[in-house]
Amino acid sequence: MQNEILMMADAVSREKGLGKEVIFQAIEAALAAATCKLNPLDIDARVDIDRSTGEYKSFRVWEIVDDEALEEGKGLEYPDKQLLLSTTVEDYPELLAGDVIEESIDAVAFGRIAAQAAKQVIMQKVREAEREQIVRDFEDRQGEMITGIVKGMERGDAIIEINGTEALLPKRNMIPREGLRKGDRIRAILEEVRYATRGPQLLLSRISPELLIKLFELEVPEVGEGLIKIHGAARDPGSRAKIAVQSMDGRIDPVGACVGMRGSRVQSVSNEIAGERVDIIKWSPEIPEFVINALAPAEILSIMVDEEGHAIDVIVDETQLAQAIGRAGQNVQLASKLTDWVLNVMSESGAEEKGQGEAQKLIEMFSRQLDVDEDVASILVQEGFTSVMEVAYVPRQEMEGIEEFDEALIDELRNRAADALLTSAIAEEEVLQKAEPDADLLALDGMNEHTARVLASNGVVSQEDLAELAVDELLEIQDMDEEQAKQLIMAARAPWFE
């Protein structure tokens, strides 16, 4: 009998690739279940197997319950499994409520019933161990490129086999119009190891820009050797993509190296992602130059950078406008993603109209806030003033250089600007004082009262409201460091993961 247990542990361990300890624990649980089932009383039991001989002992288990925990007038909930603390103090003075007492009992034979129970428990343990093994194998590989074989399709999603482990490639993460068939070998990014009720699930993606980067790392030796650096990629999956590269060695042309002899390298990458056209862009630390490269082959006339709005107006010739924007805006959208700047492509006439419109808005703002006529407001705009704060605090000599302004007018404008700023600050403070953030928002780690009131005045009253914001939405409401914004949002979302 003992040999039978040892043989089972050894066979299952080899077949399933699990440690023998997992199998022994499963057999112990099965024997304990059989012991409870064969006993006429509703008992708890524990079985202990000797790992070297296969011999096992059985124990009946009682849980110690505190007398004060019982409801008045009621006895023990499970009298065959529990003992009152007061009845055990004399024999076991060191034990407390919640501890257990064990008593040796006759062991059940490892027969048909125990074997069936053991089989069920072992299979459950095997599944649990396999799930844990998947987590150990893949949890640290998120973001890596993985090669697998299409095992089949299920409701539009693809089941991918990776070295005996199944992963899911959801339809939303497939390249559009890509006809995957059973047996196809594909590469994808391990996007997430998701924990579900049926165990961990590996989620793959073939539309991630990271896949494009990993493919070039594979196809271009200079990238792997550190001679060429990839700064980022942007994709319209199945249609077009852009990737930014930089040479770390002046003797190497990064674009040419990634294209390869007669386009062999870029073609290999394109074939792997269903024929997606890939533009290789030379990266530059100078943003205007990088933007010009990213919008190629369109020719750029001029660029205007708005640092505060993190946007760039790109002016092109009327004949180049369609090419710069691309079909359905594809070219400018990919360039925006690649450079991480909002790119506004326009013709010279369009840029002029935009400039006139923005100038008119500034004129109206100065006229209203400083209570001046349109002529004075127009002069301020022409001289480059864009805010009331600039009028109040710009060095006086800069305003003295304006031909149309005398000292009296300069003093009056600066005083009115200071008054307008003070009035605005008082009004803002009144709004903040009326705002009432919820207690959970105020108590959030990293939150202060001022920020909480600013959020509440903008409709973000509770922790849940903050949790639903994106980082850029929070930055629009309150000026802060991007990392601080991320930490606040993640702190607010902490209950979601508990």
Burial of 497: CB neighbours in 10 Å, binned 0-12, 13-18, 19+: exposed
Angle at 235 between CA 229 and CA 240, to 5 degrees: 105
Per-residue pLDDT tens for 188-208?
999 888 776 666 678 899 999
Low-confidence winner among 46-50, 85-89, 238-242 (lowest mean pLDDT): 85-89
pLDDT-above-70 percentage for the chain = 92
User: Where exactly are the structural domains of the chain?
Assistant: 2-134, 142-205, 284-386, 435-497
What's residue 289's pLDDT? Answer: 93
Domains 2-134 and 435-497 share a fold: no
C-alpha 242/C-alpha 374 separation (Å) is 47
Asked if CATH classification 3.30.300.20 holds for the domain at 284-386, the reply, yes or no, is yes
pTM of the predicted model, to two decimals? 0.60
Domain 142-205 belongs to what architecture? Beta Barrel (2.40)
Name the strands in the sheet holding 300-306, side by side, starting at the edge strand that comes first in the sequence. 300-306, 311-316, 342-347
238 CB-near residues (< 8 Å, 6+ apart): 175, 176, 177, 178, 273, 274, 275, 276
Contact 169, 158 (CB under 8 A): yes
* Residue range 2-134, CATH number: 3.30.1480.10
What's residue 74's pLDDT? Answer: 67
Low-confidence winner among 238-242, 282-286, 454-458 (lowest mean pLDDT): 454-458
Strand partners, 232: 244
- Superfamily for 435-497? 5' to 3' exonuclease, C-terminal subdomain (1.10.150.20)
Strand partners, 311: 306, 342
Instruction: Go through the chain and tell me how many residues it has.
Output: 498
Contact 456, 435 (CB under 8 A): yes
| 2 pLDDT above the threshold of 60 | no
Tokens of 17: 């690739």
Helix (H/G/I), strand (E/B), else coil: 366 = helix
Rounded to an integer, the average pLDDT of 164-172 is 87
| 111 pLDDT above the threshold of 80 | no
